[in-house]
Copies of this chain bind each other. A is one copy, B any other.
Amino acid sequence: MVQKTGKRARGRPRAYDPDQALARAMDTFWIGGYSGTSLDALSASTGMQRPSLYGAFGDKRSLYLEALERYTDESIASMRETLDFESSLRDGLATLYHSAISFYAPRNADPRGCFLIGTAAVEAMSDPGIRNRLRKALRRLDRVFEDRFRQAQATGELDRQADPAALAKMASAVLHTLALRSRAGDSRPSLRAIAEHGVQMICGARSRR
């Protein structure tokens, strides 16, 4: 078994960094999907032999689930950070979407979209565990937007009669379409245009930037 926080390991030291290995495994799943990614591919990308993979993460599904959790946590943290950093709701949304586009369709690499939509959505039908995790992840993402909308309502930036939960789902919908379209190969300018229209639609078209 892997000793998670062992200060000085007793036996032979590990030749890999568990965190980096998980990140590489996530990238590999991201490209090939769960069913489309073999243990050989994971072994090659992480640099770990199969028995080491099993020792560190358990079987293929467990490794995928860890990658899924990691992705969700990181995405949510990054989104919260962006929305907190920008002072206005409008700027926060705009920055968040533009960051998402850079993330989904990097300038120097193949577009990959969102890990959840690109890999978990497929398996959701045949694996109830993955389906539940996907549903909860989407709900958590909704909550990030919802919390910011509530805050905007408290400061008077957003109309008192607005429905924060409903607006949050619309904000997520824009994110979902950006993720899908980037994976489908849409150009970055066209994605940026969608993001801008999304911001206008959610915040109201009144104040032009």
Contacts and interface: CB of A to CB of B under 8 A. Distances in A.
A69 interface: no
| This chain: copies in complex | 2
Closest CB pairs A-B (n = 6): A173-B177, A35-B36, A35-B35, A33-B122, A135-B184, A166-B197
A23 interface: no
Given A31-B125, A36-B123, A121-B113, A193 B181 contact: no
A169 interface: yes
Interface string A32-47: 1111100000000000
Given A122-B33, A197-B163, A132 B185 contact: yes
Contacts of A172: 177
Contacts of A119: 122
A92 interface: no
A112 interface: yes
A21 interface: no
Interface string A58-84: 000000000000000000000000000
A150 interface: no
